[in-house]
């Protein structure tokens, strides 16, 4: 009876995952979708704790260890809740990387634990039956080593990504690093294949673990700033696949469904991010993605002089415009100015100005960073435009207000073959009649590349903290 009820719990969990993911595609239903999926996961977790049972020599046993299980649940819930409530929007990408890494670590630990159980069975098998036993467990060993490799790479890579996003880890590369990465990965895979046919070689598992962690670290270390959203998405897909391996090991349908959904969604998002960055997925996998960018920072230093615009002039230009497009970037998140930006949007709209937002797919530090930022301020989804749609509207736009965005509006991506971002699709802001760029200073953006846009005839710089500048603009426009 318990097993039937547990199956129903897993079915409910799987269905809520699928429905929740579907609802996440629309900001209006995203919160409900998240809660729905979380509810399904809770049902699956408590169903496993109280309904899971197994037979041992004809005797039914239950999961047990309730004190340890609930202690871990309570500690995890408290830590997760506090972290989520305290995190600033600017730190959201690094928290996502941290949590994603924990998922990879969990998958790797599952592989280690299950292999230890398997090892005990092999050690207890009589020599005359060992060959048959090895043949029986080979599929299980395959899943174990796959989960270990993928989970370890996800964990190590996510930890490095977390460190790079918060500034504690710097880009690092050396000649031949790609070759070393490939050799290490090939060694891990080779040992994994050998271990499938020789599972009694227990220590090989830890050699595979070490090689996988090494690869995860050096896979992410050379990756440059503007490329980080793609890496986060890719590592997220790794964690999903590793979790799916755990689902296979335990014949757990809900774990398998969740892992497949995360892995598939992460893979598709990675492909879309690569397309948006004009990068090769192959280069991501071999660890050469975005490396060595800092060497070209500030190369273009002779474009000429930039010109500045006063607050009053900027307010006047925007007040009498027919259409204003706002391009949000990481600087908007740093200043926590999303609510003030929404206020500016409402003031302009009341004056009869058409206001929309142009969102580049990789603006910020993770996929969808700007969408989440603006959703927090209750900006209507209807006025958020994707890059292709926005590029069609720039020629008919009177004013473009760029708030902290840099690399995603850099014309070098289209005009300078020597630039590291050459070929990356950008927002064609310079097609508008007037471009106003708000930045703290003339320093290069996250990719460390000089932006030629700042020296173009149509561009005017409006220096200052985004929140303070937007507050002053609101005051000026109200009085205009």
List active site positions.
Answer: 407
Task: Give phi and psi for 220, each to the nearest 5.
Answer: -95, -25
DSSP three-state, residue 400: strand
Q: And the tokens for 160?
A: 């490095």
Strand partners, 385: 358
Q: What is the DSSP letter of 432?
A: S
Q: Are the C-beta atoms of residues 153 and 145 closer than 8 Å to each other?
A: no
Closest CA to 327 of 445, 238, 227: 445
Query: What is the rounded distance in angstroms from the CA atom of residue 354 to the CA atom of residue 69?
Result: 55
Cα atoms in the 13 Å half-sphere on the side-chain side of 398? 14
DSSP three-state, residue 232: helix
Q: And the tokens for 121?
A: 């069975």
Query: What is the rounded distance in angstroms from the CA atom of residue 475 to the CA atom of residue 480?
Result: 9
Q: Are the C-beta atoms of residues 360 and 330 closer than 8 Å to each other?
A: no
Q: And the tokens for 300?
A: 């273009």
Query: What is the rounded distance in angstroms from the CA atom of residue 101 to the CA atom of residue 104?
Result: 5
Q: Terminus-to-terminus CA distance in the chain, angstroms? A: 73
How many residues comprise the chain?
A: 480
Sign of CA dihedral 159, 161, 167, 172: positive
E-strand stretches of 262-374: 323-328, 354-359
């Amino acid at each position: 009876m318990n097993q039937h009820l547990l199956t129903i719990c897993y079915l409910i969990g799987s269905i809520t995952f699928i429905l929740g993911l579907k609802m996440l595609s629309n900001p209006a239903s995203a919160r409900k979708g998240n809660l729905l999926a979380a509810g399904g996961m809770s049902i699956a977790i408590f169903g496993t704790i109280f309904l899971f049972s197994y037979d041992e020599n004809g005797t039914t046993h239950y999961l047990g260890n309730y004190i340890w299980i609930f202690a871990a649940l309570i500690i995890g819930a408290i830590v997760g809740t506090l972290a989520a409530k305290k995190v600033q929007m600017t730190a959201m990408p690094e928290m996502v990387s941290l949590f994603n890494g924990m998922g990879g670590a969990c998958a790797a630990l599952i592989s280690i634990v299950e292999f230890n159980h398997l090892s005990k069975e092999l050690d207890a098998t009589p020599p005359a039956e060992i060959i048959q036993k090895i043949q029986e467990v080979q599929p299980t060993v395959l899943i174990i080593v796959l989960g270990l490799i993928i989970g370890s790479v996800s964990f190590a890579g996510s930890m490095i990504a977390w460190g790079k996003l918060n500034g504690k880890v710097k880009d690092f590369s050396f000649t031949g690093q790609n070759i070393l990465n490939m050799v290490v990965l090939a060694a891990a895979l080779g040992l994994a294949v050998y271990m499938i046919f020789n599972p009694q070689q227990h220590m090989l598992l830890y050699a595979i673990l070490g090689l996988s962690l090494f690869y995860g670290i050096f896979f992410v270390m050379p990756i440059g700033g503007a490329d980080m959203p793609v890496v986060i998405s890719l590592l997220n897909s790794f964690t999903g696949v590793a979790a799916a391996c755990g689902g296979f090991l335990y014949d757990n349908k809900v774990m398998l469904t969740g892992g497949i959904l995360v892995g598939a969604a992460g893979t598709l998002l990675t492909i879309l991010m690569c397309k948006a960055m004009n990068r090769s997925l192959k280069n991501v996998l071999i660890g050469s993605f975005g490396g060595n960018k800092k060497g070209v920072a500030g190369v273009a230093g002779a474009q000429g002089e930039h010109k500045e615009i006063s607050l009053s002039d900027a307010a006047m230009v925007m007040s009498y415009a027919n259409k204003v497009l706002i391009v949000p970037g990481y600087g908007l998140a740093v200043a926590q100015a999303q609510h003030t930006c929404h206020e500016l949007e409402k003031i302009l709209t009341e004056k009869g100005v058409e206001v929309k937002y142009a969102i580049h797919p990789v603006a910020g530090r993770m996929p969808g960073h700007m969408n989440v930022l603006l959703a927090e301020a209750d900006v209507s989804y209807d006025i958020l435009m994707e890059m292709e749609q926005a590029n069609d509207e720039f020629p008919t736009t009177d004013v473009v207000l760029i708030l902290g965005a840099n690399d995603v509006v850099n014309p070098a991506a289209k005009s300078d073959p020597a630039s590291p971002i050459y070929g990356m699709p950008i927002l064609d802001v310079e097609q508008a009649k007037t471009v106003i760029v708000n930045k703290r200073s003339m320093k290069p953006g996250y990719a460390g590349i000089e932006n030629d846009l700042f020296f173009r005839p149509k561009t005017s710089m409006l220096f200052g903290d985004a929140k303070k500048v937007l507050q002053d603009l609101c005051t000026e426009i109200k009085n205009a």
